[in-house]
Structure 1
Amino acid sequence: MSCNSKLVPKARNWQRKEKLKLTLILRVVQAHPNDVDAKNNCKECKKIVQEKAFLKAIAVDHQKSSVADSLDLDSMCIEGDYIGPKLEVVNGQETVTLPFVEQLLEHQKQEKRLHRKYAYKILVEIKRMFSEQPTLVDITIPEGKSFTVCGDIHGQYYDLLNIFKLNGLPSIDNPYLFNGDFVDRGSFSVEVILALFSFKLLYPDHFFMARGNHESETMNQMYGFYGEVKSKYTPQMGDLFTEVFNLLPLAHCINNKVLVMHGGLFKDDTTTLDDLRKIDRNRQPPDEGMMCELLWSDPMEAPGRSSSKRGVGIQFGSDITDSFLKKNNLDFIIRSHEVKDKGYEVTHNGKCITVFSAPNYCDQMGNKGAFVQLKVVDGKLQRDFVSYDAVPHPQVRPMAYANSLFGMM
């Protein structure tokens, strides 16, 4: 038995004990919310659980093989009673087409499921596509043309459909960027991600997706996406989603003047766009460094930097934004990651835009959603904001598929 393999049962035993301990401490915290000792114990116990989960992960990591490579899609049959969307054969290959995507949107709206074979095919193909893209993607908006940036969707499929109703379906003439956190929290995350991946396959050069902090294995297991995939499809597909999420680009640069990322800026004043291009993103997000900060950081009113209330990433002031923009010859940044009453917020003297596209977040926040429209006029990027209210959705509560242990937190 190898040294690494000996770690596996040890890690599992630690996890069982610490999760049981965490459950008991959480009950104490709920019963006595002002008990400082209980809160501190809870925080320390959660840290131990995460550390041991990491130990388990690195112990078996060398044994993992790609789900995409192990699939035998040809052996998956389409049952005779399946009446949902079907990939069309183009040049001998099953391909995502506009009629397929339009049928998929309506099919899922009726709470019907895409056949697992087609879902797997979409994931395998989108993994290949993302693997060929850089960590920082450059986007060019021509003179007189418009471009739409959306923020967090968080599994709110019916609000995603409303964006397309208000702003038109993605197309070559109507390009979009979705800026992370497509899944978790909302209980229609599978529908959201399959729709977005289909548009990416249909319009690879006019539809863009960036990784958010919720496109990670740990967050998906805690906040519902993994449970939803397991319920609607298979655990194996959940693992395949993890492989795909690892390959999502981390940021986009529009017309060499606007940087778009999910979270925010960095601890290091010397960070450049070239540094971002060099990030090896094919991994789970680390707890520190540029990749972590791109996914987790937030702006603040005060100048300078401070530790993040989230526990990872940083908070950064307007002076940090000014310095970064000047160093990289940029005009402003667009980020997401935070609920805003109007669905958007402009801070740091107009140089930091937050856009959040999930209205009435988790069916309880009462916020509007929004998207940003950029248009090139006389060589300059003009920006406009569209806010909207939540629309009705089927009676499935948010977090319906979340891990029961973490649902207590």
Structure 2
Amino acid sequence: MPSMENGSSNVPRAEEIKLQANEAFKAHKYGQAIDLYTQAIELNGQNAVYWANRAFAHTKLEEYGSAIQDATKAIEVDPKYSKGYYRRGAAYLAMGKFKEALKDFQQVKKICPSDPDAAKKLKECEKAVMKLKFEEAIAVPESERHSVADSIDYHSIEVEPQYSGAKIEGDVVTLDFVKKMIDDFKNQKCLHKRYAFQIVLQTREMLRAQLSLVDINVPDGSHFTVCGDVHGQFYDLINIFELNGLPSEENPYLFNGDFVDRGSFSVEVILTLFAFKCMCPSAIYLARGNHESKSMNKIYGFEGEVRSKLSETFVELFAEVFCCLPLAHVINEKVFVVHGGLFSVDGVKLSDIRAIDRFCEPPEEGLMCELLWSDPQPFPGRGPSKRGVGLSFGADVTRKFLQDNNLDLVVRSHEVKDEGYEIEHDGKLITVFSAPNYCDQMGNKGAFIRLEAPDLKPNIVTFSAVVSSLCCMSCHFFSFGYMFGVKKDQEPFLYEEV
């Protein structure tokens, strides 16, 4: 324990470091800000502001579990510090835990009864909780539910004579159609619902026929491209195709989850990927990410975007199709590709993943949850997830999984990286993230990985964002714009200044 004299002298130094951390935060260097806030906390752990500010930085990196821990510590240090409750409530909101968030915003309102932003967030939470209760009350039991896909006959949908957009002749999706559709999307034109239904329904049938773990064979002399999160950044998706070629049998891709949410063009992204899948099933493989789920789509924008651009029926249909997406892929029996990461127990075999019944919303624990949510950590063993879901796993866990399954490499996505990728765990794990300048504010590069057979040595290509294209629905994690009617140019968290 430091002496009282030393402790007293630490206070001004801690404040200096906090100001440096604030500057890093304002520059969107959230990892650096977390490191600096940590230093300030080590010098003076009894300042609730430091804990709350670090919670806010964790939130910006989508580390909601860590944000909740830090905000809780801020409340313990100062039970009357309103921002501690505010930031914990914000993290709960981001995780879809509306009832927990409601309690925290009620406390904020109690401490700051005249704060308009606190009142606004409380109202939003109350609305969300009421909506949840209503949905629970009218929910149909699982055993009685019918597939919305079975009720749709796209052939019977009339195409108006004045429609001048891309058209599918008959039942075959052609390259010419996909190119025309992409050009229409570039010009902010919509695809007719008849063809949108056709694409989504045909994709559903193909995905349903696949196993939860898909084996991919890349012939010697051929290549294969793995892309990470795209998150509705349509123009950056098209830039990938311009840099690396359109998907085809000779130029196949795997998009490793999180196609939608956050970005303003998630509908365009998912229809483009699905259309290529319909055109040539072996040209493009699709894996489920943690954002291909109802709960995430409600919070982060996709559900509202679909409702706005297409219809309520499409909301249900996409939810069904997302439950058909495979959970992982293995390339040439050597490279394991998954959105999130590995497991809370040793001994998981590829056969265990193949046997997962994936046709459901992701559970909050177990193999399927961990595949979609887990993250690597720099130290050995396993630890709690910084996200509050899944877990963190070390290089020893990665090494053991590879050895048990006679594999060479894990490729995963799920985390924004400054350079678009990161190589960890003694070179045995690569994170690839393909949404540059994520949410129009992170300043990161995007990346994709080209694997050349037979050695499958990863060649990583990085790229920058092509435009500042309205990428974020409503400033990072709070795409409540579609859920609560917040406009895109509104600042939803003025209260959250560090």
**Which residue of 2 is the match for residue 7 of structure 1?**
none
Change (3 A) 1:390 1:268: same
**Which residue of 2 is the match for residue 82 of structure 1?**
163
Q: 1:85–1:104: 8 Å Cα contact kept in structure 2?
A: yes
Residue type of the partner of 1:280?
A: D
Unaligned runs of at least 5 residues, structure 1: 1-14, 33-40
**Which residue of 2 is the match for residue 297 of structure 1?**
374
**Which residue of 2 is the match for residue 318 of structure 1?**
395
1:111 aligned residue (175, 179, 188): 188
Residue type of the partner of 2:191?
A: L
* 1:309 to partner: Cα distance: 1.4
Does residue 371 (structure 1) correspond to residue 448 (structure 2)? The answer is yes
2:359 aligned residue (282, 290, 298): 282
**Which residue of 2 is the match for residue 168 of structure 1?**
245
Secondary structure of 2:398's aligned partner: helix
Residue type of the partner of 1:185?
A: R
2:418 aligned residue (333, 337, 341): 341
Q: 1:342–1:387: 8 Å Cα contact kept in structure 2?
A: yes
**Which residue of 2 is the match for residue 202 of structure 1?**
279
Distance in 2 of aligned mates of 1:250 and 1:231:
29
Residue type of the partner of 1:289?
A: G
The range that moved more, 393-402 or 152-161, is 393-402
**Which residue of 2 is the match for residue 330 of structure 1?**
407
Residue type of the partner of 1:121?
A: Q
Deviations 1:14-72 (A, max 9, x none): x9x9599458438549969xxxxxxxx9xx99998999689558754334211111113
Deviations 1:150-201 (A, max 9, x none): 0000000000000001001111111100000000000100000000000111
2:255 aligned residue (178, 185, 189): 178
Change (3 A) 1:59 1:85: closer
Secondary structure of 1:403's aligned partner: helix
**Which residue of 2 is the match for residue 12 of structure 1?**
none
Distance in 1 of aligned mates of 2:461 and 2:108:
43
Change (3 A) 1:383 1:395: closer
Mapping of 1:144-163 within 5 angstroms?
144-163=221-240
Does residue 390 (structure 1) correspond to residue 470 (structure 2)? The answer is no
**Which residue of 2 is the match for residue 265 of structure 1?**
342
Secondary structure of 1:374's aligned partner: strand
Q: 1:303–1:318: 8 Å Cα contact kept in structure 2?
A: yes
Unaligned runs of at least 5 residues, structure 2: 1-95, 114-121, 487-491
Q: 1:363–1:398: 8 Å Cα contact kept in structure 2?
A: no
Q: 1:158–1:393: 8 Å Cα contact kept in structure 2?
A: no
**Which residue of 2 is the match for residue 218 of structure 1?**
295
* 1:270 to partner: Cα distance: 1.3
* 1:212 to partner: Cα distance: 0.2
1:66 aligned residue (116, 135, 147): 147
Q: 2:259–2:270: 8 Å Cα contact kept in structure 1?
A: yes
* 1:403 to partner: Cα distance: 2.5
Q: 2:450–2:459: 8 Å Cα contact kept in structure 1?
A: yes
- Higher radius of gyration, 1 or 2: 2
Secondary structure of 2:189's aligned partner: coil
Change (3 A) 1:359 1:351: same
Q: 2:262–2:472: 8 Å Cα contact kept in structure 1?
A: no
Deviations 1:179-237 (A, max 9, x none): 00000000100000000000111111231000000000010011000000000010111
Q: 2:303–2:315: 8 Å Cα contact kept in structure 1?
A: yes
Q: Which has the higher contact order (CA 8 A, sep 6+)?
A: 1
**Which residue of 1 is the match for residue 269 of structure 2?**
192
* 1:402 to partner: Cα distance: 4.0
The range that moved more, 353-362 or 17-26, is 17-26
Change (3 A) 1:381 1:290: same
Q: 2:382–2:394: 8 Å Cα contact kept in structure 1?
A: yes
Does residue 120 (structure 1) correspond to residue 197 (structure 2)? The answer is yes
* 1:76 to partner: Cα distance: 1.4
Q: 2:440–2:471: 8 Å Cα contact kept in structure 1?
A: no
Change (3 A) 1:226 1:247: same
Change (3 A) 1:85 1:298: same
Residue type of the partner of 1:78?
A: V
Deviations 1:54-99 (A, max 9, x none): 955875433421111111323311011100000023xxxx221010
Change (3 A) 1:29 1:208: farther
Change (3 A) 1:152 1:79: same
Residue type of the partner of 2:161?
A: G
Change (3 A) 1:227 1:290: same
Aligned-residue RMSD, C-alpha: 3.0
**Which residue of 1 is the match for residue 432 of structure 2?**
355
Change (3 A) 1:99 1:281: same
Query: Percent sequence identity over matched residues?
Result: 51
Secondary structure of 2:281's aligned partner: coil
Deviations 1:341-392 (A, max 9, x none): 000000000000000000000000000000001002xx32111111111011
**With structure 2 as the length reference, what TM-score do the two structures score?**
0.71
Residue type of the partner of 2:160?
A: E
Residue type of the partner of 1:403?
A: M
* 1:398 to partner: Cα distance: 2.7
Secondary structure of 2:282's aligned partner: coil
Distance in 2 of aligned mates of 1:346 and 1:96:
38
* 1:393 to partner: Cα distance: 4.9
Residue type of the partner of 2:162?
A: D
More strand by share: 1
